[in-house]
A and B are shown apart, each in its own frame.
Chain A
Amino acid sequence: MTEKVVVLGAGTGGLVAANLLVSHGYDVTLVEKKDYHLFQPGMLWIAFQGHDPSKYMRRVDTLVKPGVNLLKDTVESIDLNERTVKLESGKTLDYDKLIIALGVSYDYDSVPGHRQLWETYGDYFSGPEHAQRLWKHVSSLREGKLVLAAADPLYKCPPAPHKAAFLSSYTLKKMGRKDKVEVILALPFIHAYPSETMAKIVEPKLEEAGVTVMTMFTVESIDVENKKIYSMEGEELEYDVAAVIPINKGPQIEITPDSVKDEDGFIKVNKYTLEVEGFDDVYAIGDCNNTPTSKTGVTAHLGAEVVVDRILGYDAKFTGRTNCPIVANGTATFVISSYEHPVIPVKFSKFKRMLEDLFIAAYWSSLRDPEKWRSVFKAYFEATDPTKLGESGW
């Protein structure tokens, strides 16, 4: 009998897993509530350079291989003991193997004033329409302060605010407003980047771009009427336009047993096998799990490959490898680390920007036909393994 695999969520991890499994003859059902898949880093280009959202969106049905049973529905609850998934439509799915790839959810209510700020200015995390709202404000900011901050040090895509700062400063320069608008990057870290090694590389680049960096600034409350942001560390910042990264939480669905979720709702997994704690027939990949690595598309993609290999019977292990790009003007760098290896120094270069452009160009194809890209990605990740690049980095 064909094994029945249910995949929840058609983000990067969910699509890669579903498309790989269907090529191996599994009976795959993919549940997704939205019609469109969004290339999430695209929100930065929408919000800070005014790109058209359609460039970063594709219909989910064009991204699944024939044979994948795509259900447009919302997951309501999962019962791991009963092996069932309840959907909003009333349908109940049963499975032999379950892959949870539901991403994060955003909390705009824990920080006073945050929801109002988000409704006013938008942000570059929650969706293309919110990124477009932010662009409207950024592009019409003639003078004053553009503040980019975060409500919690743990958020997905650690270099997102840095990219936001670079992209907005280049946009303002192009518009001839660089001297009139100050870009302030207020971060909840000791250095300009969570890893000190990368902070040393990113800091001079931010300075070159004319970005003001404020460290140890964790947003505690926002006064939208008076346009002020207060930090837990006791500082305050005035703004004219501001975007604050929301607190990231696990997916908002009921799971039985509740004990598989940590206090923030992230699903507890074995960090190597990505099996949900206590259940060898359930996996959680990408942003929704509690692995101690960055939450990015790359980790979701690599996690999906590991889970598929495990379902196929191989003893594959997730290494926690990251490859987070930081894009500056014409150059880029990657934040490279793994469970076994702390972040290595990686310089900005034009070559890395070209590699990043190639990764983006291959994105849609790598979701639809992940098996075709496996060897290329494998060669790249092996070539840039932190151990191979060495302490001197890249």
Chain B
Amino acid sequence: MSERDPLAQLLTELENPEFQEALSKLLELVKNLEKSGLLDMLVAITEPEVINRIFDMVITTGTMKLGDSIEGLLNKLGDVAEALQEDVKPASLSELIASLKDPEVAKGLGRLIALLKALGK
């Protein structure tokens, strides 16, 4: 909202040591990007036409729904990782059938069926 001359404002900012430090790091980063060839790539992919294609590919109904469920998925993955750490003995077919009485197992099986259905669509 400032009505000051933008150039004068920039010069004042440059006197700020914090800004100078950040700027020298930024220059270092630019140097590294240039040395590795990544800067050329960044310039190319930030062309409006390429950006548009990227957005077009990334923003879909599927990714919007996925983004929404990421939190839940990550929590589930955490539970799965924990289950993998548990010490279990090999299960027999009868034990498998018996385990279906466990509401958590039954619900998990329900999810697996839903997953199979989604995969088959």
* Residues in chain A within 8 A of chain B (CB atoms): 36, 54, 57-59, 347, 349-352, 354-355, 372, 375-376, 379-380, 383-385, 388-389, 394
Contact = CB atoms under 8 A, between A and B. Distances in A.
B65 A394 contact: yes
Interface bracket on B: 10 to 19
A contact face: mostly helix, strand, loop, or mixed: helix
Nearest to B71: A350
Interface of B: 1, 3, 48, 51-52, 55-56, 58-61, 63-65, 67-68, 70-71
Contact of B61 (A351, A355, A383): A383
A350 B70 CA distance: 9
Given A54-B1, A58-B1, A347 B68 contact: yes
A376 B55 contact: yes
Nearest to A56: B1
Contact of B48 (A36, A351, A372): A372
A59 B1 CA distance: 6
B68 A384 contact: no
Contact of B59 (A372, A379, A394): A379
Contacts of A394: 64-65, 68
Contacts of B56: 375, 379
A384 B64 contact: yes
Contacts of A59: 1, 3
7 contacts: A36-B1, A59-B1, A375-B55, A376-B59, A379-B55, A384-B64, A388-B61
A357 B60 CA distance: 19
B1 A57 contact: yes
Contacts of A58: 1
Given A58-B1, A379-B59, 6 more contacts: A59-B1, A347-B68, A351-B67, A376-B59, A389-B61, A394-B68
A58 B59 CA distance: 29
Contacts of B65: 389, 394
